[in-house]
Structure 1
């Protein structure tokens, strides 16, 4: 009862820039099915009040819970009451935020620095500059966000009519390593074109045009720089609610509104008022229709947890028919084998819903069924446990290097079409 009372009186900070001093991230690792069920029960109780960085999924998989200073004591008591052992994963979230960026480093790089984080405005300018500086790059303006920012993509192509590889980053605003990795990989592709035979083949010899959206959720990302580093959703107002934002990765049309979503506009996993009600998902969906039946590969890059996942995402059941599962799994294994080589980084490969957590209306199912893409993935980038969402800048380059090794496998594969896609 004490915990519930505390939840009812919880009031979010109203300061211009939210300070996460005193916020802790608690980690629980369920050892048996009984503990996992207790964590599911706790998640149902707390999901709209505390921030589950990692939700309850499977045995021996960490569950990370960010808790504000006014609730830390009560949540720890509740965990103990449920006989759930916990450790402190992050002692003070604000300290990690402060250490995320190397503010006193000397930048010795000419031009755009791919080893630091960049603002929304800088990323937008980067797209324009890439098209100016490289003949194989075209600037694509997909449309406008809710706050009027341009949602941009780079197209990398040597010309002609080809099948499409579409990758996107930054659908969740706080996952900064995702846009940074997208830009790093795009730069690797265009600067090594004509120099590295594999990279040249990705653009010339194979049958793909590359479309890379570095930051889909441009409004939310901008907000993480100006107001709240841990903001997740977009910044679109909700009808009849003072709470802002839709979780864009719950807003896609396939199985919209199902498991792993919320109809509470204040929740971080609010699925929106209707399928594709998010301005950003709607705009990109309309733009992608021009490639109908011609998209070979769809990847949505997130962080964290080091996972390479394929449909189904809407359910935690593994026995539901998914005719491309073996093809998707085999390709992901080859990609993650290549990813491992530079630094030994291990990725788990599996089905999104059963092996991570169910999330209806998410991108991997949308790519697979709505767009009809045989190879549709959601990838959770670094890391597994040191920093969570707050990956320090000196990890950007390693993330870009290793993930590009996976991309080279994907971009030089013929990606044959598998069995028919299930009906939406």
Structure 2
């Protein structure tokens, strides 16, 4: 099987630069009425609170609070009898669960972008007959976009489908990139197989608050539930769908006929929101790989080679 393993690691601010979170606290909030739910939204705007996972009635959400706003925000919650508890006393310290260096990627920790890039470089150098490293363009901020082409025939055998794997669209979902590098590991080494974007939108405030939420910028049910029209929020859906470009544009340009998306573990599975405990990384990668195998087999069943 020919496989194109594409790693679009759009992981700018939230993934690589969390020094700014020193002294921040994260809190669980659990509203018990619609009034409390609306109050949380209003307080989030008033105190510049970053909602990591939205609370709903009788289910906790997680928010980040700046140190200068903590007393005011907590005081307002207590005044309105909104249930809360501490998720992390120091967000920066909690985020320090990433590996620092090394070409072989361990799966007991999260990796910096430069570590993943070094891994891609190393894989291409060690397996030149199987892997080709491609840098077709740069991101909006000028970073090189890298992906690997993996094929035993250098894509000369047109009787087999090409499979395109894309990870890291949502910059807060740290578990996504490891599932893609795990797929590379399985294919090559085992001989098998910021929440927002960084681009400016058409909105007049986009140069002050760049990017759109890549998870909320598709044409299906665009700008409906769980999204914001304010470009300075993390759930901004864009002035139009497709504004984030990148992966969707590439998929359209090469005529991808079949696609599916994985919903990886998060808060609803009982873990800690976007920051999945590192001890689960390898298990998530193993389970996701099994899904990739099933999807690849189905693509092969449906594939009709060009005459």
Matched, 1:26 2:62: no
Equivalent position of 2:199 in the other structure: 236
Equivalent position of 1:276 in the other structure: 242
Q: Is the 8 A contact 1:143 1:283 kept in 2?
A: no
Alpha-carbon distance change, 259 to 144 in structure 1, aligned in 2, over 3 angstroms: same
Encode CA deviations 1:116-142: one digit per residue, 9 max, x unaligned: 544334433433443443344343445
Equivalent position of 1:266 in the other structure: 232
Instruction: Give the C-alpha shift of residue 287 in structure 1.
Output: 1.7
Instruction: Give the C-alpha shift of residue 392 in structure 1.
Output: 5.7
Instruction: Give the C-alpha shift of residue 53 in structure 1.
Output: 1.5
Residues of 2 paired with 1:41 and 1:415: CA distance? 48
Equivalent position of 2:11 in the other structure: none
Equivalent position of 2:50 in the other structure: 51
Alpha-carbon distance change, 19 to 284 in structure 1, aligned in 2, over 3 angstroms: closer
Q: Is the 8 A contact 1:139 1:155 kept in 2?
A: yes
Encode CA deviations 1:352-403: one digit per residue, 9 max, x unaligned: xxxxxxxxxxxxxxxxxxxxxxxxxxxxxxxx33x44344655543432343
Encode CA deviations 1:147-167: one digit per residue, 9 max, x unaligned: 122333334444534445443
Equivalent position of 1:154 in the other structure: 148
Equivalent position of 2:37 in the other structure: 40
Matched, 1:90 2:88: yes
CA RMSD of aligned residues (A): 3.4
Say which SS state the counterpart of residue 169 (structure 1) adopts. Answer: coil
**Number of residue pairs matched?**
275
Encode CA deviations 1:177-223: one digit per residue, 9 max, x unaligned: 32123212321232222xxxxxx5xx6xxxxxxxxxxxxxxxxxxxx
Encode CA deviations 1:249-297: one digit per residue, 9 max, x unaligned: 222233433332222121111222333222xxx23223212453632x4
Q: Is the 8 A contact 1:23 1:69 kept in 2?
A: yes
Say which SS state the counterpart of residue 239 (structure 2) adopts. Answer: coil
Matched, 1:178 2:202: no
Equivalent position of 2:266 in the other structure: 304
Q: Is the 8 A contact 1:170 1:301 kept in 2?
A: no
Residues of 1 paired with 2:246 and 2:196: CA distance? 16
Unaligned runs of 5+ in 2: 1-16, 303-307
Equivalent position of 1:123 in the other structure: 116
The answer to which structure, 1 or 2, has the higher relative contact order (CA under 8 A, 6+ apart) is 2
Q: Is the 8 A contact 2:267 2:274 kept in 1?
A: no
Normalised by the length of structure 1, the TM-score is 0.55
Q: Is the 8 A contact 1:260 1:269 kept in 2?
A: yes
